[in-house]
Amino acid sequence: MKQPRCVLHLVAFLVLLSWCLPSAGHAAPKALAKPSTPTEAERKAQADAQFTLALESFGKWCKTLEQAHHAAPRDAQVILRLVRCRLLSGELPQANELLARGKASLGEKIMAQAQRISDAEIGAETGTETGADGDATESLWRQACVHFQASLDLDLSIGAQLAVSACHLRRGKFTLARELVVAAIRAIDPQEAAADSTRAMQLKLAQELTRELNRLQPRITAQFHAGFRGSLQVGGKPASLTAPALLDPGAQTVIATLSNGELASASLQASPSESFRLSIGAPQRQMSHRRRILFWSLVGAGAAAAITSGTFYAVAQNKWDELAGAGCSRPSSFGGEISCVSLDPLIEDRGRAYNRTVNYFQASGVGALLLAGGALTVYLTTPKKETLQLLPLAGAGKASLTMSASF
């Protein structure tokens, strides 16, 4: 009688993770070493039991997905979950083939939309019995994750590390998932992977999980001006100024220590596959509201005084053109009181009017210079500030746009 395909998947997964008993830092021995203490033996036995329970839940999950795919072969969400089952079973070629058939049957656009829906469910699978979409099959996946985690707590094995990493990935705990994948990759000897098919499958699975994490994990890329001497924290942890900071989905806080030691913070809501750019620009003068009012008041008053002075100059020049032909003289090309030799009272009145206009011109000119000097003083005494910008580059996340602190 022909065995169901799901049984074959379970067998493949058992083979893939059969090396979970050895520790992550050592290759599996050909014969199981005798534990040094009874406590260690009991712990390994408990880890083995938990792993067996996890594989049972995992097998039921894959079997349910097989049945759902046969019943609805054009359901894109079921196809993507079955692809995940194939990947975790070590069946990478079958997973790629299934995904290619789905794209050929449903189209790239529909599969891409299904992938976005699947990505949006990341992080929403915890704390519910049936998952974000109400599908009871996902409870089998979560049951397997509970047992995988229990096994990992008892015995730090490569197989358990990879399985729990996949669980964390679907829960949106990308940082924990990446730590486990990195530990598993470090524990796999490349020479052993080249000679042993099980280790090779584990290495391929770890590489596939790494690619998926690189695709899904939100990140912040920082850009700084040449004179920046501060530091950066993301989610309460120090972040590199040269490499992108990797995030988990959800609310995150970014704290920048500026060059002068002051702190500036921003909050963001990160979604899977989303990227942000944090830029700290060169220090610029940024006035407070009161200082800005004072500055523009001085500029406005100075401009009015300059216009008034110009008007008096034009009036005085016009008066002088009339007085020059009447025998009047002035000590310089412009400025100073004029003197007239004419005894005509009208000429004398015009001379006195000219002198008053010159005085007004000089006074308003001095006032314009003083006001301009005041505005310049306000501007030059305004402290410089480094300007921060946090902008989403992709996805639908929201972030504070601008912040600043004294420099």
Q: What is the pLDDT of residues 125-149, one digit of tens each?
A: 543 333 444 456 678 888 889 988 9
Percent of the chain past pLDDT 90, that is, above it, reads 8
Percent of the chain past pLDDT 70, that is, above it, reads 79
Phi, psi at 373, each rounded to 5°: -65, -40
**Entry pTM:** 0.62
Confidence of residue 380 (pLDDT cuts 50, 70, 90): confident
Are residue 118 and residue 194 in the same domain, yes or no? Answer: yes
Are residue 158 and residue 9 in the same domain, yes or no? Answer: yes
Residue 102: Cβ within 10 Å count: 24
How confident is the model at residue 130, as a pLDDT?
Answer: 39
Are residue 343 and residue 398 in the same domain, yes or no? Answer: no
Are residue 118 and residue 184 in the same domain, yes or no? Answer: yes
User: Could you give the CA distance from residue 172 to residue 213 in angstroms, rounded to a whole number?
Assistant: 10
Are residue 167 and residue 254 in the same domain, yes or no? Answer: no
User: Could you give the CA distance from residue 184 to residue 207 in angstroms, rounded to a whole number?
Assistant: 10
Confidence of residue 30 (pLDDT cuts 50, 70, 90): very low
Look at 323 and 216; give whichever has higher pLDDT: 216
Looking at the 3D structure of the chain, how many domains does it have? 3
Q: Which of 164, 198, 216 lies at the terminal end of a domain, its last residue?
A: 216
**pLDDT winner (highest mean) among 16-25, 303-312, 358-367:** 303-312
Are residue 260 and residue 391 in the same domain, yes or no? Answer: yes
Are residue 371 and residue 251 in the same domain, yes or no? Answer: no
User: Could you give the CA distance from residue 243 to residue 359 in angstroms, rounded to a whole number?
Assistant: 67
Are residue 210 and residue 85 in the same domain, yes or no? Answer: yes
How confident is the model at residue 185, as a pLDDT?
Answer: 92
Listed residue (235, 295, 287, 243) closest to 266, CA to CA: 235
Confidence of residue 296 (pLDDT cuts 50, 70, 90): very high
> Phi/psi zone of residue 172: left (φ > 0), alpha (ψ -120 to 50 degrees), beta?
left
Q: Which of 216, 237, 262 lies at the terminal end of a domain, its last residue?
A: 216
Confidence of residue 299 (pLDDT cuts 50, 70, 90): very high
Residue 226: Cβ within 10 Å count: 5
Residue 405 parent element (H or E): strand 402-406
Are residue 169 and residue 86 in the same domain, yes or no? Answer: yes
Coil vs helix vs strand at 285? strand
- The range of the structural domain enclosing residue 282 comes to 219-286+384-406
**Per residue in 253-284, pLDDT tens?**
888 888 777 788 888 888 888 888 888 877 77
User: Could you give the CA distance from residue 53 to residue 159 in angstroms, rounded to a whole number?
Assistant: 14
**Per residue in 93-108, pLDDT tens?**
888 888 888 888 888 8
Are residue 188 and residue 135 in the same domain, yes or no? Answer: yes
**Per residue in 144-160, pLDDT tens?**
899 889 888 888 888 88
Are residue 374 and residue 393 in the same domain, yes or no? Answer: no
User: Could you give the CA distance from residue 376 to residue 363 in angstroms, rounded to a whole number?
Assistant: 20
Give the position of tokens 């996890």.
54
**Per residue in 159-197, pLDDT tens?**
889 989 989 988 889 999 999 999 999 998 888 888 888
Q: Give residue 190's identity as a one-letter amino acid code.
A: P
Q: Where are the beta strands (DSSP E) in 167-228?
A: 219-224
Are residue 266 and residue 211 in the same domain, yes or no? Answer: no
